[in-house]
Amino acid sequence: PAKIERESFRIIEAVADLNCFSDMERSVVKRMIHASGDLSLSGVVAMSDGAIKAGVDALRSCCPIITDVRMVAVGISDRRTCIHDNNVLCKIDDKAVEDEARRAGMTRSAMAIRSLSNHADGAVIAIGNAPTALFELLDIAKEGVVKPALVVGTPVGFVGAAESKEALMRAGLNYVTVRGTRGGSALAASAINALLMIACNEDCK
């Protein structure tokens, strides 16, 4: 597996256009390309200035990692989150969240993010599935109650996904995102894993 991974990253470095990214940014983008199998992804990945450093610094300060869905949470490396005690929080399967979402007329993903708002200040937040969760997070941030250290926003799909990511880029938060309809849980988890590798001083390729 290690040999295959090395060859994969050799191909990524040879083919993908990574020239506009710094070394740390490039490490994250390469992991995202590796997870997606899409060498053109580098053309649509967008990051705010200083986003990667902000995320790495927060992880080294033992911040929690909040996710919108379990698929993002289970894709994050347990071995690396243990090093700086980064608790991974996801409440999408919480029965109380489901009930509250039904009462409020919200999606479960959006309510799950709102229910974790008391953990969101200074957190690294990964939203890989639901545009409604990203819109909800931006609403919470707009209220001025919390400011995440970094938002990895990669919701996928044809309804609301591109719009939610454009809103993220205008929100004044540190962000990593993918323009347009592409995205998904694997991309969000891969970006977080790259940040964790940098935070743990590992070779991130």
Q: What residues are annotated to the active site?
A: 34
Nearest to 108 by CA among 94, 87, 121, 120: 94
Which residues face 152 on adjacent strands? 126, 176
